[in-house]
Structure 1
């Protein structure tokens, strides 16, 4: 009987591997969270240097110098976060002996990619119109939608992280002037907490 139970367990695990992207590392979340907090701190520093009060909640027409500096911080933060995610995920995938680019991986990327690309373009548009106070809420909302969408093909815990990001995005839109704070909580603190939990759960 034990033999049949073991066989069934093995078959179930094989089916799960083929349909679910399970190589996502908890350390990816920790790395992305730390990078996000640094990026958030640098953003506040740049605004303070130019005597811009982000918390007043009013539309600000930043100089091109400020926009370029903030753009460099944003792009650097994004690239470092993605880089750390890829590094730890590849490392875990090799450790588990799982193929990194599988059907499940493709489905995960497709599901998350549509909301992320749409959100990225929308953020560029509102930045072009100098609606900077809406950038943080939009990033949180579209990122939350991406996580919820991708949760069908990866660890189910991603779904709850996505919902938390959505809630923070809505709050950031309501409490205008504190969007960057909610952004730091969502992309920074939540990622770190989530990453630590997932690391201990799936190690």
Structure 2
């Protein structure tokens, strides 16, 4: 502390001006909200905003009418079937409405013990006329799930409900590689079949 006091009180300690090193630029700040507002007003006056809204609406409707197809699927060349165990291990406790624990974390639960699969699930390429004809003719009670095509258009023309496997989550979950494919309940298991359609009569097992 003594040395610090000496330095502070000493008349020989002087501040020095080391001059200017490098370029110095003025700080210019703009109000971001005002800038955005000005841009929006200009877009509105020029009609650019209306054009962009129309383009966005058109793209959104196009995606709804025809979602992105699921990649990597082929037409089944041979019929094959396998069993799928839907049993899952719970990551957390399952509680009822009153907070009472129904299932404990870590328990293995088969959903088919509580809820049956009410109808077969049929996965198909909605742009394949043969798959579509076979599905409508032979699977009247099945849930038709598209991996490609226009579900809303088919609902309007065929007068029945179609679903779409967004992002291919279901086909990946079941291990489906080829179409059409069928998922049906077989006791406590699910039987999954990739079905090769005969080109002459488009029928299957």
Same fold at TM > 0.5? no
Identify the structure with the greater helix proportion. Answer: 1
TM-score computed with the length of structure 1 as normaliser: 0.21
Higher RCO structure, 1 or 2 (CA under 8 Å, sep 6+): 1
Structure with larger Rg: 2
Identify the structure with the greater strand proportion. Answer: 2
